[in-house]
């Protein structure tokens, strides 16, 4: 991908040439000169200069959209080249949240692998924004996760809904809220444990931040102790030794029971979300299309 386009994307995302120059390891005059040359090459203004930074013009917005698509295709090409070099022309590259792995993805992948033993597999776990970033950069072909509310329209993806999930609040079975039969309001005085929470690194994928902000306010994230854990196994360990409360899909109740972790019988109007499959808006190769269909079949059979 052209260096000036990469520089432009950083300036567009940060909205400040000085900050972009620091991020890129360039001097501000060098980056300013590069952006002026880019504008001259198109013979249109790409930025509106303001006292505290820059904003994209309609020409700049168009270039950002096309440059992001170019970057994604370039990254995808690099990964395909690497696969060919390793003689792995047929490879499942997919992502999933930890919950959906246990609920149905593991079984779907096992069934597919049994029927297709020569297929290589690359499996990524993580937060849905992280997996979305990997998807649009060609690092994975699809992923299973919650529907992302407020997702940027620049993400050229399709979402296939599979099931509706309810959120529960999980605690260790000896938690004070269970022993003392506390009220729903009492949950707010205990630490909040967030498994694979959203990272600031991927906030550029969100066009409308309000839904996620409302979610943070509902959980009173700014007003309580918060444990942010990027491992489900570690989260279970922490729940077993603390009074933390963990919001997580209710469909994982049976799995957590093995570790004496149980849902609180407190939430009257539980939060619900749609779980499904994300993939790019382009034709899928046969083996990716096949695993997608296997995931659809297994996902739609889940009882939640």
Domain residue ranges in the chain: 3-85, 91-299
- Rounded CA-CA distance 142/129 in Å is 13
- Rounded CA-CA distance 249/252 in Å is 6
Give the mean pLDDT of 74-94.
74
CATH number, span 91-299: 3.40.190.290
For residue 213, the number of C-alpha atoms closer than 13 Å in the C-beta half-sphere is 7
Please tell me the predicted confidence (pLDDT) of residue 271.
82
User: 170-198 burial by CB neighbour count: b if 16+ within 10 A, else e?
Assistant: bbbeebebeeeebeeeebeebebbbbbbb
% pLDDT > 70, the chain: 94
Helix (H, G, I), strand (E, B) or coil at 187: helix
Please tell me the predicted confidence (pLDDT) of residue 266.
62
- Rounded CA-CA distance 264/55 in Å is 47
Please tell me the predicted confidence (pLDDT) of residue 47.
93
Of 13-22, 235-244, 253-262, 267-276, the poorest mean pLDDT is in 267-276
- Rounded CA-CA distance 36/34 in Å is 5
List C-alpha distances in Å: 281 to 55, 157, 296.
28, 5, 17
CB burial of residue 58 (10 Å; 0-12, 13-18, 19+): exposed
- Rounded CA-CA distance 304/302 in Å is 6
What is the torsion angle, in degrees rounded to the nearest 10, for the CA atoms of residue 22, residue 26, residue 29 and residue 34? Answer: -110
87 pLDDT exceeds 60? Answer: no
Query: Which residue is listed with tokens 């996902």?
Result: 299
Give the mean pLDDT of 170-184.
86
Q: Which option is the CATH number for 3-85: 1.10.10.10, 3.40.50.300, 1.20.1440.120, 3.20.20.10? A: 1.10.10.10
239 pLDDT exceeds 80? Answer: yes
233 pLDDT exceeds 80? Answer: yes
- Rounded CA-CA distance 71/73 in Å is 5
């Amino acid at each position: 991908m052209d260096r000036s386009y990469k520089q432009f994307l950083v300036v567009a995302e940060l909205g400040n040439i000085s900050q972009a120059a620091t991020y890129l390891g360039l001097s501000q005059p060098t980056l300013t000169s590069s952006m002026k040359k880019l504008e001259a090459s198109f013979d249109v203004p790409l930025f509106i200069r303001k006292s505290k930074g820059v904003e994209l013009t309609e020409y700049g917005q168009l270039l950002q959209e096309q440059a992001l698509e170019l970057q994604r295709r370039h990254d995808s090409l690099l990964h395909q080249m690497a696969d060919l070099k390793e003689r792995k022309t047929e490879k499942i590259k997919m992502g999933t949240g930890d919950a959906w792995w246990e609920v149905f993805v593991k079984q779907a992948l096992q069934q597919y692998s049994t029927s297709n033993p020569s297929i290589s597999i690359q499996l990524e776990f993580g937060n849905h924004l992280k997996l979305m970033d990997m998807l649009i950069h060609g690092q994975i072909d699809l992923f299973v996760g919650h529907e992302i509310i407020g997702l940027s329209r620049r993400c050229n993806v399709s979402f296939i809904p599979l099931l509706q999930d309810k959120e529960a609040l999980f605690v260790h079975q000896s938690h004070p809220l269970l022993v003392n039969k506390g009220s729903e309001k009492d949950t707010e005085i205990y630490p909040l444990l967030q498994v694979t929470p959203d990272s600031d690194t991927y906030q550029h994928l969100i066009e409308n931040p309000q839904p996620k902000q409302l979610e943070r306010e509902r959980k009173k994230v700014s007003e309580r102790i918060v444990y942010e854990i990027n491992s489900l196994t570690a989260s279970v360990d922490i729940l077993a030794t603390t009074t933390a409360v963990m919001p997580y899909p209710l469909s994982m109740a049976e799995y957590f029971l093995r570790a004496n972790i149980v849902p609180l019988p407190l939430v009257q109007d539980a939060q619900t979300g749609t779980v499904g499959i994300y993939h790019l808006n382009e034709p899928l190769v046969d083996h990716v299309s096949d695993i997608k269909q296997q995931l659809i079949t297994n996902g739609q059979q889940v009882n939640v």
